[in-house]
Amino acid sequence: MSTENDAENDLAPIRFDTKIAVLLREDLEPWQRLNVTAFLVSGLGSELPEVVGEGYEDADGVPYLPMFRQPVLIFEGTKETLRTAHTRALSRALPRALFTSDLFTTGNDRDNRAAVRAVGTGELDLVGLSVYGPRNAVDKVLKGARMHR
């Protein structure tokens, strides 16, 4: 038998113990910010099935693709902030995706991977980074970044 307390719990906001975050370099053009964000979050969704919820369906029964089950928080920072966050994400072995400035000049997936493969970890010209993991670990990775405005 359901109680009033159960009903309140069903309506309570869902609090996630994990976080999905994207960090963008602050000097990107608006179109670049959108493009980089889209690419970065696609990497998380393809490798981490637990971040994707169930599919959607409208009142007429038309199905839609599933999306992330939790919000994606967008941050921005300097080139150095990105470099530091990347180092922290690596040291914590958090799932991550990256976008380098070189990827703006390539036109396909094969060339994108070759552009990243051609540069050592410490020399990557990062313009975006996405991370997923426990809230506190992601918060530590993003220390020094600010919410995107």
Q: Is 21 left (phi over 0), alpha (psi -120 to 50) or beta?
A: beta
pLDDT for the residue numbered 5? 52
Q: How far, in Å, CA of 54 to CA of 40, rounded?
A: 21
End-to-end distance of the chain based on CA atoms, in angstroms? 47
Q: How far, in Å, CA of 18 to CA of 133, rounded?
A: 5
pLDDT at 35 over 60: yes
pLDDT in tens, 87-111: 999 999 999 999 999 999 998 999 9
pLDDT for the residue numbered 76? 97
Q: Mean of the pLDDT values across residues 120-127?
A: 97
The whole-model pTM stands at 0.87
Backbone angles phi, psi at 127, to 5 degrees: -120, -10
Query: What 3-state class would DSSP assign to 79?
Result: helix
